[in-house]
Structure 1
Amino acid sequence: MSTNLRLLVALTAIIASTVIAQTVQDGAFGPLMTVALSERGVNESVSGLIVAAPWVTTAFFTSLIVVLAKRFGSPLCMVAGVLLSSACFLWFPIIDNTWAWLGISCALGLGTAIRWICGEAWLIATAPAHMLGRVVGVHETLIGLAGAVGPTILVFTGTQGFAPFLGCAAVLAVAALLPPIAARFALARSIEDEKHSPIHGSSAVRVATLAAFVGGAAEGSAHAFLPVVVTERQFGGWNTLFAASLFSLGGTLFQYPFSILADRRGRGDLFGLASAGLIIVALIIPVTQGTSSVFASILVTGAICGTFYTLAALTVANAMPSDELTAGIARLAFGSTLGSIFGPLAMGIALDALGHDLGLGVCLAGFGVVGLLGDFAITRMHRTA
């Protein structure tokens, strides 16, 4: 088998495994949990805690996952993480205690974090330097689509009884079959094919972590509160949910074009450009009038917010050797998760203090300012060191 064909098989298997797992771990998990817990008479606050638990787990266990990946390797860790999540779905319908579900949800979050960190680091380490942006772009696009398609699993399994949990566990079991295939065909990267960045080492990781945080904060807060803002403008019932979907669509569909741009232009100044773009479009939203204009600005905002994590991954890939990529991606996972927690909190405060339109714009622009100033400060410290 030719080298190019082996590489294609390996990359396809890694991407397919992460995307299939994402349909359940991100797409189907939340809707299934809220419905199942509601049927059990659990109040919404406890349901929200259980649904949020996996992301809190991700923030806490990133360092442990780096140790596991170094000890056992990314392929084995990926399989273990996906199978752990699969087992968790089988335990949910067996155990009746609500607080036990919280513990199972945390365990599922650990499995998700292992798959996320090890899978992404392995993918970046396998991809050749000349096509890294395109590979990451395809991966992030499919990851976004997987999160959107995931709930459709419940259309086929239903939301009651054992069937939906068994269906989710079965999908994850299929995802666990693919890493061994990828490991069989993956090739070690030559020293000449290692990536190199104008910002090296710890400075690059700081910039990338900041980008992941800004992306997580902006994306998480906008996705959560856009329906509220659209409702305030009285655009109509269906437009409320359409706004959130359009925001997600923008963040998904523009990943690949942005990644091609990153391959051709280089990644050094794109974080600053993305931050500046977020500031501009965020300040336009409050003064935009008309349904079509508002929705166009929402689409552009989603596209910009979606680029931050992709840029962060490319920055780490450019700056770190293959054997350190897991640690770099773990930092990104921590930053993105922290942003996803902090962003909605900040957005809620801004909306209460400034009103819906102005609060949304000012808060998103604030995230852009954090990104712009942080990028400038980190880069300046590196140049003067």
Structure 2
Amino acid sequence: MSAETEFDWRTIAALNAVSTLAQIGQFGIAFVVLPVWLAEHGLDAAHLGMFAASLWLGQLPGLAIAPWLCKRLGPMWVIVLGLACTVCALPWMAFSVWPYWMAGGMLCGFGLGLRWIGVEPWLYRIAPAEARGRLVGFHETLIALAPIVAPMLASYLGLQGNAVFWIGSAFTLAAIVPLAFASAAPKELQHHPVEKTPAQATAALRDTVFRQGLVIALLGGMLEAAVSGLFAPFTQGRGLDVGQTADLLAVFGLGGLLMQYGVGWLADHRGVGFAAIASAAGIAVVSVALLLPLNYPMIVIAVFLLGGFITALLTLALIASTLASSGNIAKNVSAISMLYTVSAVAGPLMAGAAMKSTHSDALMWFAATAALIMAGLLVRTSSPAP
């Protein structure tokens, strides 16, 4: 089989473009910018935590039913359905008020969940297996543009009106265009059973990697959802205005953008567990540093690093899901993504309650604690089974 036949680079490029455009509308606007918009419209940390949780809660059923829908409708139509959900949700939110914003948040999350499982397993099945970690890192680098582009556009156009909702709708609709250039998705591929040979050592390693992926998803979802959803009240507590908050969110996204390929390379060469422990340690150190009386340039550097380390967690969880030695990629990606999402529902609720009852600094204490717990669990999971 020729390289051109085996690897459909046109479809790989098209699916990466779909994810990049859709992520700006479905994640960059909905998950990153809208909490800032809501904070500007008077929501406190507890209510912002509820809204952030609604986004992830809506994503959960989308992730759950997407593999079933992919088998019956095909990944392409599942992606279109997911995009349509978000295009309907954003205008709804533009003309509604609290608590109806939560309904729009759930529909945005549901659409993202459908699109996520429609694209990712399709992409990874047609990708070169020997470079899958780097491909996941490259793909996550592209979609990491979302939390950079969306805050920059919001900062430029202002957060007082409803422009952010039309920006999100436009980018989500635009994602349909590259989808037209993708070839038909291949049939679902089951992994071959592991033979009773020396290859058992490799299978055991992959099982360990998948367990590491579960740990990363469990704590990583809490971290990403809490920090992205509650960053605005944290910066307000530090005396920063809404413009500076939007700029810092763009810096947060830039850190994620520039570090993802390196994380994929590190996972390919040193293992998922090593890369995740390094990321967790970085999150703990930077979170504590942000509690110190830093000047603004130092805050920018710290937020850049925090964005890179936190964004790396989803990349590593997805790499682990593609290395599982049983099942199929769609189900494995769905399982890891669902666990990530369940924990993401809990993260903003717990951190938001802590911030409301104590101080906005509780967000960074929450992040540091969750990161240290993750590192400890990963060290234990990496230990050989008795």
Structure 1 contact 223–247 (Cα < 8 Å) conserved: no
Q: How does 1:36-75 map to 2 (within 5 A)?
A: 53-75=54-76
Is residue 2:276 matched to residue 1:271? yes
Deviation at 1:55, TM superposition (A): 2.6
1:190-339 to 2 correspondence within 5 Å? 199-201=205-207, 204-234=209-239, 239-287=244-292, 289-320=294-325, 324-339=328-343
Q: Distance in 2 between matches of 1:231 and 1:33?
A: 16
* Residues 70, 37 of structure 1: alpha-carbon distance in 2 compared, 3 angstrom cutoff: same
Please give the root-mean-square deviation of Cα atoms over the aligned residues, in Å: 4.5
Q: Identity over the aligned pairs, expressed in percent?
A: 22
Offset of residue 314 of structure 1:
0.7
Q: Secondary structure at the match of 2:19?
A: helix
Give, in angstroms, the shift of residue 307 of structure 1.
0.9
Return the letter of the residue paired with 1:366. Answer: T
Q: Please state how far the C-alpha of 1:368 moved relative to its aligned partner.
A: 1.2
Deviations, residues 197-247 of structure 1 (Å, cap 9, x unaligned): 65434x544421321232222233233444544454556775444433323
Letter of the 1:17 counterpart: V
The equivalent of 1:375 in structure 2 is 378
- 1:87/1:336 Cα in 2 relative to 1: closer, same or farther (>3 Å)? same
Q: Does the Cα contact within 8 Å between 1:313 and 1:332 map onto a contact in 2? A: yes
From the two aligned structures, give the one with the greater helix fraction: 1
After TM superposition, the structure 1 stretch with the greater mean CA deviation from structure 2, 12-21 or 261-270, is 261-270
CA contact (8 A) 2:93 2:100 kept: no
1:3–1:336: structure 2 CA closer, same or farther, 3 Å change rule?
same
Structure 1: which 5+ runs fail to align?
A: none
Alpha-carbon separation, structure 2, partners of 1:10 and 1:272? 34
2:323 alignment partner, SS class? helix
For residues 26 and 71 of structure 1, what CA distance do their matches in structure 2 show? 26
Relative to 1, partners in 2 of residues 1:278 and 1:238: Cα closer, same or farther, differing over 3 Å? same
Residue 110 to residue 238, structure 1, CA distance change in 2 (3 Å): closer
The question of whether the paired residues in 2 share the 8 Å contact of 1:61 and 1:110 is answered with: yes
Give 1:8's aligned residue: 9
- Code of the residue aligned with 2:385 in structure 1: it is R
3-state DSSP class of the match of 1:181?
Answer: coil
Matched, 1:176 2:182: no
Q: Taking structure 2 as the reference length, what is the TM-score of the superposition?
A: 0.75
Which structure 2 segments of 5+ residues have no match?
A: none
What amino acid sits opposite 1:3 in the alignment?
A: A
Residue by residue over 1:72-105, the C-alpha shift from the partner in whole angstroms, topping out at 9 and shown as x without a partner, is: 4433422333344445668x49998998886666
SS in 2 for 1:286: coil
Q: Does the 8 Å CA contact 2:75/2:119 hold for their aligned counterparts?
A: yes
